[in-house]
Every structure is written in structure tokens, then in C-alpha cells.
Amino acid sequence: MLCMKPLLCKSFVAERGHADYMLGMSEVQTEAPLLPLLICPDPKLRKTARPVTEADRGEVDALIPSMFATMYKAPGIGLAAPQVGRSLRVVTIDLAPDNVPAPIALINPEIIAASDEEAVQQEGCLSVPEQYADVTRPARVKVRYLDEHWVKREIEAEGLLAACLQHEIDHLNGVLFVDHLTALKRNILLRKLAKAQKDQQARR
Ligand code: NI
């Protein structure tokens, strides 16, 4: 079910040139049960997730398909386990280049190299719904991880995939994209989020 198509992701970056966390991927479905998404300021989003060990294998093998299903349903292009209340170092990503699914599952991902050159991408987050901001990060990263078959891999990424990898690995360390903004921009964005959540609750 899962495969890696980083080259396709690169061509996608060239075409789109910016992050868009609301791609029309809801038609891509898996059978796995959906998980509830935690919304900022849930304190679980601020915890450092623990590394996955061999003892977690059964749990993680079940978690990954559910994370993909939850991510596609949202829809989003990346999800980290803490966003569904699981304090484990697991990430799912699918940039769906040219609307072709290209899922990447990462267990214990680690950034082992980052470029000095930086790049700006517009980012959003399923845990900070409907709020977007430009975020500056290293333009290219190399990430080491275990894939969904528990095989050691490395991926080199640029553009949207590089931003997405860094965004999701941040989640494993309790960091949200808003933390990369100035205090002023962050406060404006979080106030807008709180108001939108309150309005939504009032409408229910
Ligand atoms: Ni996020």
C-alpha cells in the first residue's frame, strides 16, 4: 500500500511552489479506523514524543494506516502521531503529486543534515485549523528514518517536502509552526484560531 516517490514530490514542488495543506485528497481513502485530531492549545501537542522501539511494533503497524486514513480525510499532507494523541515518533506524509498518492511513513525520523540556505513556505496545520503563515526553514534537509516495513532509509528533500518533513518532525518535539513566527504574528494567529473555535462551538 505504501511507497516512496520523492522525485515526484520534487516535480510537484516546482509546479506548485508553495505549501497547501488543504489539497483535494479526500477521495483517497483507506479502510483503517479514523483517529480524533487534537487541536491547539491541547497540552498533548506540546509533549516530546518518545522514540519507537521494537516492542511498539504491533501498535505502530496498526497506527500508521489509521494516521494515513485520518490525514487523507482531513484532508492534509502530513500528520504526526502526537496530533492524534499518541506520544510516539511516527509521521505520515503524502504530497500527492499530480493527484497521485505518494505516501511516506517515517518511524523515528531524524534530520541528519540541513542546508544553510533557507526557504519560505506557506504552512498550515491540522492542529491549527484554517490558519496559515509563511515560515522560514532550511531549504534542504536529509532525514534518516525507518519506513513502514521497518527498513532504514534516508531521504533528501527540498521545497514543499523539505518544509513538510521539518514541520512534522517539529510536532514530535512539541513544536508547532506558529512557534517559528514572531510573538506578534503568533498571538494574532492564535487569537484568530481561538475565536474561530469559539464561533464553531456556538454554531453547534
Ligand atoms: Ni502540523
2 CA to middle of ligand 1, Å?
Answer: 21
Q: What is the pLDDT of residues 40-58, one digit of tens each?
A: 999 999 999 999 999 999 9
What spacing in Å lies between the alpha carbon of 1 and ligand 1's midpoint?
A: 23
Ligand 1 mean position, distance from CA 123 (Å): 8
Query: For the chain, how many structural domains are there in total?
Result: 1
Query: If we measure between CA atoms, which residue out of 177, 58, 172 comes closest to residue 110?
Result: 172
The answer as to whether 5 is a domain residue is: no
The answer to whether residues 37 and 127 touch, using CB atoms and an 8 Å cutoff, is: yes
User: What pTM value is reported for the model?
Assistant: 0.85
Q: Which of 123, 148, 158, 168 is catalytic?
A: 168
pLDDT in tens, 71-99: 999 999 999 999 999 999 999 999 998 88
Does residue 67 fall inside a structural domain? yes
3-state secondary structure 32-55: CCCCCCCCCCCHHHHCCCECCCHH
- In this structure, is residue 191 part of a structural domain? yes
**pLDDT tens column, 144-201:** 999 999 999 999 999 999 999 999 999 999 999 999 999 999 999 999 999 999 998 8
Name the residues around ion ligand 1, CB cutoff 5 A. 125
Q: How far is the CA of 94 from the centre of ligand 1 (A)?
A: 13
Cα of 167 vs centre of ligand 1, distance in Å, is 6
CATH number of the domain encompassing residue 47: 3.90.45.10
pLDDT digits (tens, 9 = 90+) for 2-34: 222 333 333 333 333 333 333 444 444 568 999
Annotated catalytic residue 27: no
Tell me if 186 is assigned to some domain: yes
Domain carrying residue 109 = 10-203
86 lies in a domain? yes
Is 85 within the bounds of a domain? yes
Question: Is residue 4, in this structure, part of any structural domain at all?
Answer: no
**Residue 128 forms part of a structural domain:** yes
